[in-house]
Amino acid sequence: MRHFDLYVICVSVTVVKVILYYSCVSIKLAIKLKVGLFAIIIGGVSLTLNSIILLSVLGPEAVLRSNFPALTAVSYINIADFIERLDTFILVLMIILGFIKISIFFFCAIIGAADLFQMKPSPMFIYLVGGVIFISSIMIAPSYQVHINEGLKVVPYLLHLPLLIGIPILLLLTVYIKQKLKPAVS
């Protein structure tokens, strides 16, 4: 993983977690915090272990060069000349986990859009949001190479810097200015 990827993963997971917190209104806050903290710890430990294993098996150069280092690492598995070629297992696992991740992000997009427009998520609304996501994903990146190029060269400057650094700094400045003006008003 690149140096900025883990930060982006953590922020996107945090955004999903916040949206899921607000959608589960009936659950107590203490339970939400415990489950959320447990999920972040498990996610961080699994990402760390995955990175350590991939670096141990492939080395840092091969991990940086490979688009899918887990697929490359699993090609080295050979147990008694009987269990080998587990590439299909990893591909199926990547497809299933990708589907789960996309489903969670889609669910959060529906909840967030419904909350933003103050409406209930009806089937027509779900189809509309899904269609917008589908069409925009094809327009933004028609191939894997374009997707990687935009993800490494365009998105960090146009999306990550403003959303992950600019907006928090502006919010911090706003709170600081409000705190300074508050004693002067009273």
Confidence (pLDDT) at 161: 81
**Does 12 have pLDDT greater than 80?**
no
C-alpha to C-alpha distance for 48 and 97, rounded to whole angstroms: 18
- Read off the pLDDT of residues 88-97 as tens digits, 9 standing for 90 and up: 888 898 899 8
C-alpha to C-alpha distance for 169 and 184, rounded to whole angstroms: 23
Q: How confident is the model at residue 11 (pLDDT cuts 50, 70, 90)?
A: low
C-alpha to C-alpha distance for 17 and 27, rounded to whole angstroms: 14
With beta carbons less than 8 A apart as the criterion, state whether 19 and 112 touch: yes
Q: Of the ranges 51-60, 75-84, 141-150, which one carries the lowest mean pLDDT score? A: 75-84
- Read off the pLDDT of residues 38-76 as tens digits, 9 standing for 90 and up: 887 888 898 889 889 989 988 989 888 888 888 888 888
Model pTM greater than 0.75?
no
Helices and strands: H and E segment counts in the chain? 9, 2
Q: Of the ranges 8-12, 162-166, 172-176, which one carries the lowest mean pLDDT score? A: 8-12
Inter-axis angle of helices 123-140 and 87-116, to 10 degrees? 120
Percent of the chain topping pLDDT 90? 10
First to last CA, the chain: 51
Distances (CA, A) of 8 to 3, 76, 146, 151: 10, 30, 19, 11
Which of 1-5, 31-35, 45-49, 71-75 has maximum average pLDDT? 45-49
Q: How confident is the model at residue 118 (pLDDT cuts 50, 70, 90)?
A: confident
Distances (CA, A) of 14 to 10, 45, 46, 164: 6, 16, 16, 12
C-alpha to C-alpha distance for 119 and 116, rounded to whole angstroms: 8
**Does 1 have pLDDT greater than 50?**
no
